[in-house]
């Protein structure tokens, strides 16, 4: 079967930091589901991405991955993200999807992108779309903690938020867009305007966190595949930050991380992560920042509530 015959029919489009990694991880365990080796290929948002303006640290990290070998199946490993521009490269990610009823990927830029919904529909108008949404204040703060882990900022949240607002250049991979990515109503509407209601599944992060088994059963029904028991170990991609200054400095070394990942030391990579990162005693969201973000998101939350006919008023209450 040619690569083009294995057409993707499931897109987990975001939002970022709302559980897409967990859903992709759970679904790829199902025998009827194939998820690409690159979880986030970002192919259908390429027209909105300014690759030449990506953060220098992001560029270094992308260059350190053996993306071409993963695409061509010469390297049996999973990558969290890449930015695929060529259709033939995108198709190669799904060469081994023969026999799977559901073929999917999970690029979080697709929800933010102005063009991705239209591009996906043109590619496969029968696609199923999963959209995960999280309290935008919590999403912004989780994104900030990820930036701390990824070394994109070492500032306190309020200062990082202010610097992000004032960034001269903005866009996916260029700055964090803590607020912009949480303005869901217009983003979700783009999909609902193009795809039928039966093709779009909205999932709230709180529901996934509270009862992932129930959410998965709803997804199985949505995808018209049988129920399946998967290893639901924990929510993936959880917030964590460097333990100390030395950890901060080590994490800035892209070469060190690549060496550990690709050498015999790869076996100790999980121990290295536990030594460098901590998930305990994470700083909470400062009250002033909560109040500010609550005001900024209030109107959009109301618009989203009306769009989805769901009461989300608790999202902007302090």
Please report, for the domain that includes residue 10, its CATH number. 3.40.50.300
What is the C-alpha to C-alpha distance for residues 126 and 79, in angstroms, rounded to an integer? 27
In a domain, 142, yes or no: no
35 is in which domain, residue-wise? 3-137+180-237+312-316
pLDDT of residue 231: 79
Which of 68, 3, 66, 56 is CA-nearest to residue 34? Answer: 3
Residue 304 in tokens: 């989203």
In a domain, 36, yes or no: yes
pTM recorded for the entire structure: 0.86
In a domain, 168, yes or no: no
pLDDT of residue 264: 45
In a domain, 99, yes or no: yes
Domain count, the chain: 1
Sign of the C-alpha dihedral, residues 213, 219, 221, 227?
A: negative
In a domain, 304, yes or no: no
Stretches in the chain below the pLDDT threshold 50: 1-4, 245-247, 249, 251, 260, 264-265, 268
pLDDT of residue 20: 97
pLDDT of residue 77: 82
In a domain, 70, yes or no: yes
- For 229-261, write each residue's pLDDT tens digit: 987 665 555 555 555 544 454 545 555 555 545
In a domain, 208, yes or no: yes
pLDDT of residue 276: 56
In a domain, 88, yes or no: yes
């Amino acid at each position: 079967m040619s690569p083009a015959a294995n057409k993707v029919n499931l897109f987990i489009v975001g939002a970022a930091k709302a559980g897409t990694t967990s859903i992709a991880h759970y679904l790829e365990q199902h025998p009827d589901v194939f998820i690409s080796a690159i979880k986030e290929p970002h192919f259908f948002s390429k027209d909105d991405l300014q690759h030449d303006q990506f953060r220098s640290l992001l560029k270094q990290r992308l260059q350190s991955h053996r993306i071409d070998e993963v695409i061509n199946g010469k390297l049996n490993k999973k990558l969290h993200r890449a930015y695929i521009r060529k259709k033939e490269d995108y198709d190669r990610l799904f060469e081994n999807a023969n026999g799977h009823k559901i073929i999917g990927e999970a690029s979080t830029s697709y929800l933010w992108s102005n063009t991705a919904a239209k591009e996906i529909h043109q590619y496969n108008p029968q696609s199923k779309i999963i959209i995960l949404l999280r309290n935008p204040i919590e999403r912004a703060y989780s994104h900030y903690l990820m930036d701390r882990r990824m070394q994109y900022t070492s500032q306190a949240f309020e200062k990082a938020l202010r610097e992000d607002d004032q960034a001269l250049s903005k866009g996916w991979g260029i700055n964090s867009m803590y607020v912009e990515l949480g303005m869901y109503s217009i983003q979700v509407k783009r999909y609902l305007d193009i795809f039928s209601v039966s093709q779009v599944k909205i999932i709230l992060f709180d529901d996934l966190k509270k009862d992932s088994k129930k959410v998965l059963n709803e997804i199985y029904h949505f995808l018209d595949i049988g129920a399946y028991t998967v290893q639901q170990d924990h929510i993936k991609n959880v917030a964590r930050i460097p333990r100390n200054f030395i950890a901060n400095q080590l994490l800035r070394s892209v070469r060190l991380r690549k060496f550990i990942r690709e050498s015999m030391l790869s076996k100790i990579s999980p121990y290295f992560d536990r030594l460098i990162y901590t998930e305990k005693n994470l700083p909470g969201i400062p009250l002033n920042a909560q109040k500010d973000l609550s005001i900024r998101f209030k109107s959009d939350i109301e618009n989203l509530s009306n769009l989805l006919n769901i009461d989300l008023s608790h999202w902007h209450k302090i």
